[in-house]
Amino acid sequence: MQAGESWDHSKYKFHGLSLSGIRTAIAMPELSLSFDVAQGYPFLLNLKQFFLTHGHLDHAAGVPYIISQKAMNSQEPGKFYMPSSLVEPLDQIMKIWEKIEDHQYKYDFIGVKADDEIPLNPQCYIKVFPTTHRIESFGYTVFEIHKKLKTEYLGLHQDEIINLRRQGLEVNEIQHLPVVSFTGDTQIEFLDSRDWVRKSKILFMEATYLDGRKSIEQARQWGHTHLDEILPRLKEIECEKIVLIHTSSRYSDKEALRILNERIPQEFKEKIVFFPGR
């Protein structure tokens, strides 16, 4: 297995890997966070915050290992955000492991609900959006806070703006920009759950099935999204990049790329990125 793939777009850098039923963990090292933790890979161990989409093992099994590694290296305990229904069972797992190891761990499990806002630093925060899976699940969006000159003052000379400020007028407005959205496993309904998801600069979304080997119905039955549901909606997704993750292990990375190349209309090819899982 590779240590993970790196990909970046404008100033945003990502590192991780994602394959349906096997592993999903995608980190943004500069924000010291990861979306899901797979089995707890080395590139995750020094991060401070972890945003779990749901409790399936391919997304969350690494939690105890990350906690133990942080303890061993005398790091601050990590913060793990997760659906509220996952807090208690994961806590029990940790209690059992404490018994096995005869050692007490420090960790922070925080339950989230839709629309919660979690500060990351003074310029950005995470906002939670609902997704639709077989168990409680959420997606996460990184928002940036930008100060921008109010539209009515655009085009004014610097001196005029200074004058307005002297008169006590507020010339700036605050903008909240959705920059990175991430879904774990979900049916396509998440696209309509919150407007900001479709407007994010970068959207990581699951596309478990890519061709006729599985039908839309079968994908939905397991709480997943089929490429056939994504293609008709590409026009209305305003993101600069849509990163497809969590493809089924029945496709090799090479085959997945070939299918996507064949099936994605030319006008959207630039917009779509395939994130490999091996």
Interacting residues with Zn ion (CB under 5 A)? 56, 58, 185
| 3-state SS assignment for residue 105 | coil
Count of all residues that appear for the chain in the document: 278
Question: Closest separation between CB of residue 125 and Zn ion, Å?
Answer: 26
The DSSP 8-state label assigned to residue 153 in this structure reads: G
- Rounded distance between C-alpha atoms, residue 135 and residue 223, angstroms: 9
Q: Which is nearer to Zn ion, 59 or 198 (CB)?
A: 59
CA distances for 126 relative to 110, 117, 123, 178, 201, angstroms:
14, 6, 11, 9, 14
Q: Which is nearer to Zn ion, 185 or 229 (CB)?
A: 185
Per the CB < 8 A criterion, the answer to whether 214 and 226 are in contact is: yes
Question: Closest separation between CB of residue 115 and Zn ion, Å?
Answer: 22
Q: Which is nearer to Zn ion, 70 or 214 (CB)?
A: 214
**Around 83, how many Cα atoms within 13 Å sit in the side-chain half-sphere?**
22
Question: Closest separation between CB of residue 224 and Zn ion, Å?
Answer: 8
Question: Closest separation between CB of residue 56 and Zn ion, Å?
Answer: 4
Q: Please identify which residue in the block is written with the tokens 């630093």.
A: 121
- Rounded distance between C-alpha atoms, residue 67 and residue 102, angstroms: 15
Pair of tokens at residue 156: 């004014």
Q: Which is nearer to Zn ion, 135 or 149 (CB)?
A: 135
Question: Closest separation between CB of residue 109 and Zn ion, Å?
Answer: 19
Question: Closest separation between CB of residue 2 and Zn ion, Å?
Answer: 19
Q: Which is nearer to Zn ion, 185 or 228 (CB)?
A: 185
**Closest residue by Cα to residue 26 from 58, 55, 64:** 58
Question: Closest separation between CB of residue 114 and Zn ion, Å?
Answer: 18
Per-residue burial over 237-253, b = 16 or more CB atoms within 10 Å of its CB, e = otherwise = bebebbbbbbbbeebee
Please provide the DSSP assignment of 44-71 as one string: GTT-SEEE-S---HHHHTTHHHHHHHHH
Per the CB < 8 A criterion, the answer to whether 108 and 80 are in contact is: yes
Question: Closest separation between CB of residue 53 and Zn ion, Å?
Answer: 8
| 3-state SS assignment for residue 268 | helix
Q: Which is nearer to Zn ion, 58 or 229 (CB)?
A: 58
Q: Which is nearer to Zn ion, 53 or 141 (CB)?
A: 53
Q: Which is nearer to Zn ion, 56 or 127 (CB)?
A: 56
